[in-house]
Amino acid sequence: MTLFDGIYPFYPQQRKAAGFDISTIIVIVVFLTLACSFLLIIPGIRGRARLYWTLRVLLSLFVGVVIVVVQFTGDWETGWVQANTSYKSFSPAQVNADIGLHVGLAGVNVTLRGNPVRQINETIDYNEHFPWNFGADYDHSYSQGLQKGLPSPILYVAEKFTAQSPCAVHRHYRIAGHYASAMLWVAFCTWIISNILFSMPVLIYGGYMLLVTGAFMIFSLLSFSTVRNSPMCLIQIGTRTLHVAYGGSFWLMVAIGLICFVAGITIVAVHHLNLDLLKTFFDLREDKAEEHQEMPEVFINPHVMNKNLSPCQPSEINGI
């Protein structure tokens, strides 16, 4: 097999590693637009309520964007290893590279980055995605990778998650990711309902829905954690072993879930202990006072009223 411009003829040009998923970028842009729109109108809010509005809105938007973004991220589980390994099939060339495994709810990303990036007259910088969400065929994506002639380390790691692999983890990861994603979408719906309730004089129910939001986040984490119950095959690359651990998205969901629990419990507790303070924080105290405002005292001149009464009708106004 001969080289043509430094590339083996049976392999396509290497793909550049992707920085962000396009869906993640779209979600972040949408929520940043909402945040910027709010910051434009915040100067119109007077007094201490401006600080309360800013805190509530920005924290709520942060919770919402995290719930949606983690659906598309690929770092619920991550692992890296640096090793000397063969680069491509039918080639004795060895490269020193970082091999990364990134597990998400919808599939896995396998990363290959050379140390240095330029070796054997090629730029070694790959990031390949293999989906397993419902509607996608993981084995077909793996077969396409074989046909394209992807580097051997990527195919070796991706083969561990195929349906025919002796590791038998494909079904566990696929079902766990599906149910975790479904629970996160329910959490997103309850987050919307809680914001609607907070804009109405039913704050305690908004606190309850915030607790439900946190509960579904924790349920999604428990669903994804079930894959740890199944034994994982060793991923041996050269003389090194690639180990995976919970990644940034997992721990971010833990933090956001705890924040929702703390905020919900605080709102329910303050509602029972100091309702006026809670109304002040949510800028509902003035509206509520107007609803319960008593009728003003009316003074009536009894001499004018007596003229309108008949002589036979006793004057009861004089007693006022």
Average pLDDT estimate for 184-196: 94
Question: Rounded to an integer, what distance in angstroms lies between the CA atom of residue 159 and that of residue 142?
Answer: 7
- 205-236 residues labelled b (16+ CB within 10 A) or e (exposed): bbbbbbbbbbbbbbbbbebbeebeeeeeeebe
**Which of 176-190, 250-264, 273-287 is predicted least confidently?**
273-287
Give the pLDDT of residue 298: 52
Say if CB 82 and CB 65 are below 8 A apart: no
Give the pLDDT of residue 267: 92
pTM to 2 decimals?
A: 0.78
Say if CB 38 and CB 57 are below 8 A apart: yes
What is the chain's length? 320
Average pLDDT estimate for 78-101: 87
Average pLDDT, the chain: 81
pLDDT confidence bin for 20, thresholds 50/70/90: low
- CA neighbor of 71 nearest in space, from 1, 136, 11, 21: 21
- CA neighbor of 78 nearest in space, from 23, 141, 184, 157: 157
